[in-house]
Structure formats: C-alpha cells, structure tokens
Structure 1
Amino acid sequence: MSRARIRLATAVFASALAIGTLPAAAYAAPVNGASAASRHHALSTETIRQIPLQGAVNVRDLGGYRTYTGGQVRQGLVYRSDALSKLTASDVTTVSGLGLTKVVDFRIPMEVQYDGADKLPAGLASTSRSVSDLGLYGTLVSAIGSGDPVKQEQMLGGGRAESYMRDIYRTFVTNPDSRSQFATTLREIADGNQGPMLYHCSSGKDRTGWMSYVLLRALAVPQDAAERDYLASNTFRGAYDAQVRAGLKQSGRMQNPDLLIPLQEVRQDYLDSATTQMEADYGSFYGYLTQGLGLDVKTLAKLQAKMVR
C-alpha cells in the first residue's frame, strides 16, 4: 500500500471521527429502515469460506464480509484456525497454497506440550503469543485424567463449566497481557508489509473467536455478521466434538462426557460476557480499540485500507 494511500485513508478516518460518522457508522448497529433491511439481506447471503483439512476442522478465510461503508473484506489475507498440530502431509500442502507468511499461536505452553507443535510448510514457523485460558486446559486434563465421575461432576457440572467460560471471556478484556497479544496481532494485520497470516488457538473458537470478532468489527463489519462468524464454530466443530465425547465414554474415562459440551461450544452469552465487560471498562467498542488495545487512528485507518476493498 502506497504512502499516499495511507495518508488519504488516515485523513478520511480522522475526518470521519471529527464529524462523528465514525465510530457510530462503522461500529454501531444499523438503524431500522429499508437500507438496513437490504444490508441485512445482503449479509444473510454471505457464505463463510472454510479451508477443508483432515487434521483441523475450523480453518476459515475471514474475507468476504460486507461492511457498513459499502466495502468488502478482502480474501486471502487473514485466516483463523484451530490448532495445526495434527495436519496430514496433504493438509500441509493445502496450507502451503495459502501463501502464509506468519502463523500466530494463542495457545499456552501446556496446550502445545500435550497437543503438539504446529505442522507447517517448510520455512514457516509459529509465533507463540499465549493468551491465558484461566487454567481451563489444566482443569480439563485433571478432570478427564481422574476418570472419577464424581470429581468430574464437581469440577464441571452444575453450571460451573459455563461460568468458567464466561470468566475466560471477561479476561480477554480485563487482562493486560491478553489485550497486548490481541493488539500486537491487529497491528501486524494492519502493516502493509505483512503478507497473509493465520492465527489460532486449540479449538479455534474462544481466543481465536474473540480475535476474529474484534477484527471484523474494527473493519466496520456489522455486529450481527461478526457474531455469526463467531457462532459458526459450532457448525464446523460439532461432528468432531461429538466424536471426542463418544470416545471418552467408550474408553471409560467419562461416564457423562456431556459435561464437556459447554466447554466445546461457543455461545452468545459467552461473547456477551466479553462485550458487556468491554462496555463497562471502555464505554464502547471504539473505546476498547483505542484505550484497551492502544490502537491509534492511523493504525485503524491502515487496517481499513489494507483489509477492505
């Protein structure tokens, strides 16, 4: 992207802020009316571009979404994914075809230790950028490893798993280290010299889901479309997660593997826990971007100029 274009995008973005059209037009829900209805119809026809692999089930191109500004998020620049540690040789060839220049891994060291490092094309290595899961992975290892149905119920039953998830989502907003990791990733995406990149966690749904929700909304993708992208993990992961539960029951490690469902799924109320915290701490989504993540107007303008056509 040329310097002249960056200067122009920054000037337009700053002018929009000055007259109040941003972030209101870009980051708020549309008003009722024919134009809003037609936008909703257009958005409802959008399809999510999944990258089919054998060793990962939640790999997607974030491009294709329409924005409030009349643009469309470019494809082939940013991908979201679950862990890439179980890719087959054929999968690695497919990933090679994406032309990735960077892979960001949000997993904590314990996850990498148990599940394995990413399998990537030659010359490409993951960048570790751990985002806290509040000890959830360790809790799961302990609960499942015990093989004790009473202990498993005590740890995960009675709404405790759901509460755990809501707490994790709040820390996406409140934890300074987590905010720093998300902010660094957004700055890299905005960098005109950064080529196609992919970020992921273990299941590609919580840390990755929040990162994707924030990115899409920062690009002025309507909130309902960003939420649909977040919730789509249930579609892509449903069959695989059911197989995991069936295997745990068959092996005798869990009598009631349905205790895991609240941890395997994404839910609107999990996302709402983060956005409610965001509004409480920063007043708005734009406040979260600028104050919470420390992104200035120039960076947000570069993000728009690079990612939206």
Structure 2
Amino acid sequence: MANQRLLPIKNGYNFRDLGGYPTADGHQIKWHRLIRTGSLAHLDRNDLTVLDNIPISLDIDLRAPDEVKKDPDRVPSQAKYYHLPVFEADETDASHSDEEIAAQMQQPGNGYHHMIDVYHRMTTAASAKQAYQKLLNLLLNNERGALLFHCTAGKDRTGMAAYLILSALGVEQKIIMEDYLLTNTVTQEFRNHWLQDMRNHGASEALVTNRAALASVAPDYLNTAIKIITQNYGNVNQYLNNYLDITPTEIKDLRKLYLD
C-alpha cells in the first residue's frame, strides 16, 4: 500500500497514517503502523478493504460506552478490538446532537471553555489515565500490522493519544502540534457545510461559534494539557514515566517497534 498521510476512506473522516514523521534524533515513524481516525461505525466494504490492506491488527476504541452502543465499530477483518473509554460519557460532545448542544451552548465562549475543561480532564481523570496506559501497553505488544486508535471525531481523545504516542517516540513538539492541527484542514469542508446548515436553520451566531469550537481543534486546547503536564511533572517524558507508568526501557522498546 502506498505511503500517504490521508487514507482514502469514503464513509468516515480524519483517517490518517502517522508514518513518516521525523524524530529529534534522526529516525522516522514507520508507515502502516500507527493510524489515527474518526468513527468506524459507517464504513462500507470498500473502506474496510482499505484498512485490511494496511493491515489493521488492533482497533482501539476510545469512545464512551454510550457512543459504542449507539454506533458500534465496523472492525477490520484482521483486527482485534479493544474498548478503552477515556471518559464514561462523551464529554467532548462529538456524538451529541445540535439540539443537545443548543441547550448548553447559547452563551459566547461556552464551546471554547468547555474544550479547555475537556483537555484538563483528559490529562488528569482516572478513566483517561487507565485508557492511555492500556493503549501504550498494547502498542508495546503489537509487533506487526497497524494499531488504529479512534474516538468519534478523531480529534480530541484521539488527538491526546497521538500527542502521547508521538512524544514517546521522540517526535518534536512543533511537528506534533502540526499533526494535531491537521484535523482542521482535513475536516474543513465537512465542518463548513455543517455550520452553514445550522445558520440556514436559524441557529444563533453564538451557537454556531460554540459549535465550531467543539467541532475543531485549537493550539489552546492541546496546550492546556501540555501546561498541566509541565506544571505537575516537568515534561511529557516524566508524565509518561511517573503518571502513566511507561518506563524508559519501554520507551526504547516502543521506538524499536515503530521507528525506522
């Protein structure tokens, strides 16, 4: 399969290979080993064939139990499925309806501040700790094929996972932020259409702005998590070691598995 960042998935969005990113010490991430995505619930046979051709060996679902029950994954044929909920309910609002959002997002700035709170909790909540610990341990035991990790939109819970994984592999923070913000580029058409449809149906501009904040990523969001990590642990490597219990030896093992 060709090396390409954005995968040709028709019935899902934000499907991306993390291969090719360089590390600070001159290596690069192997292609077809780490895949970050949005929901797998609506994939058709052709989409699953794309994933089977990589192939996907592990499907890591970071969504809350109610999201999984409502829209279960269409699991690639060679993949083993793991459900590792970052939150017990969808705190990111990625799976909530416009009506549900409208009930709590009428004041300007609500969406932005809500996402700041989400990233604080992803860095400190016990459920998030357990999910990301297990994800990193599964990475350590995946010797062939690709580990795919996802939530609903593939941007927040997935974005935090990508930050931790890329940091563990030694990718520079500037490149990690660029990958994080790539979500906005690859989902722009979808988001613009969605937000315009809200306007066409009479939504207030405050609600549209809040919905836009929920549906996108921003440097402030990820930097919130980074700031908490730095304040409490000094740097992300110490966070991985002292909070997520990933030892320096295991970091070296991850790099052997996923770097050229």
Residue in structure 2 matching 1:83, options 29, 39, 51: 39
Per the alignment, residue 74 of structure 1 pairs with 30
1:63 aligns to 2:19 (yes or no): yes
Unaligned runs of 5+ in 1: 1-46
Instruction: State the identity as a percent.
Output: 26
Aligned match of 1:145 in 93, 99, 111?
99
The answer to whether the 8 Å contact 1:95/1:120 transfers is: no
Total equivalences in the alignment? 255
Displacement after TM superposition at 1:297 (Å): 1.6
Q: 2:52 aligns with which of 75, 92, 96?
A: 96
User: Is 1:177 matched up with 2:127?
Assistant: yes
TM-score (ref. length: structure 2): 0.89
Q: Distance in 2 between matches of 1:112 and 1:76?
A: 25
What letter corresponds to residue 232 of structure 2 in structure 1?
Answer: D
**Cα pair distance change 1:153/1:122, threshold 3 Å:** closer
Specify the SS of the correspondent of 1:104.
strand
Task: Look up the equivalent residue of 2:195 and give its one-letter code.
Answer: R
1:165 Cα deviation after fit = 0.3
Find the aligned partners of 1:140 and 1:95 in 2 and give their Cα distance: 27
Report the Cα distance in structure 2 between the residues aligned to 1:172 and 1:194, rounded to whole angstroms. 29
Match runs of 1:158-237 below 5 Å: 158-191=108-141, 193=143, 195-237=145-187
In the alignment, the residues of structure 1 paired with residue 21 and residue 73 of structure 2 have an alpha-carbon distance, to the nearest angstrom, of: 28
Greater per-residue helix proportion: 1
CA distance, structure 2, for counterparts of residue 156 and residue 81 of structure 1: 30
Q: Which amino acid is the alignment partner of residue 145 of structure 1?
A: E
Displacement of 1:217 in angstroms is: 1.5
1:270 alignment partner in structure 2: 221
CA distance in 1, matches of 2:47, 2:169: 30
Check the 8 A contact 1:191/1:303 in 2, yes or no.
no
Which blocks of at least 5 consecutive residues in structure 2 are unaligned?
Answer: none
Provide the secondary structure at the position in 2 that maps to 1:300: helix
Q: Deviations over 1:60-115 (max 9, x none)?
A: 1111011111111111111000001111221111111111111001111222344x
Distance of aligned partners of 1:68 and 1:139 in 2 relative to their CA distance in 1, 3 Å threshold? closer
What's the counterpart of residue 284 of structure 1?
235
Q: Deviations over 1:129-174 (max 9, x none)?
A: 1112663439944xx226xxxx937535321111110111011211
Conserved 8 A contact 1:134-1:168: no
Q: For residues 72 and 157 of structure 1, what CA distance do their matches in structure 2 show?
A: 44
Q: Using the alignment, how far apart are the partners of 2:202 and 2:41 within structure 1?
A: 23
**Distance of aligned partners of 1:156 and 1:59 in 2 relative to their CA distance in 1, 3 Å threshold:** farther
In angstroms, what is the RMSD of aligned CA positions? 2.3
**Which residue number in structure 2 is paired with residue 254 of structure 1?**
203
**TM superposition shift of 1:232:** 0.4
CA–CA distance in structure 2, aligned partners of residues 124 and 248 of structure 1: 37
Q: Which residue of 1 aligns with 2:255?
A: 304
* Pair 165,127 (structure 1): closer, same or farther in 2 beyond 3 Å: same
Match of 1:155 among 101, 105, 116: 105
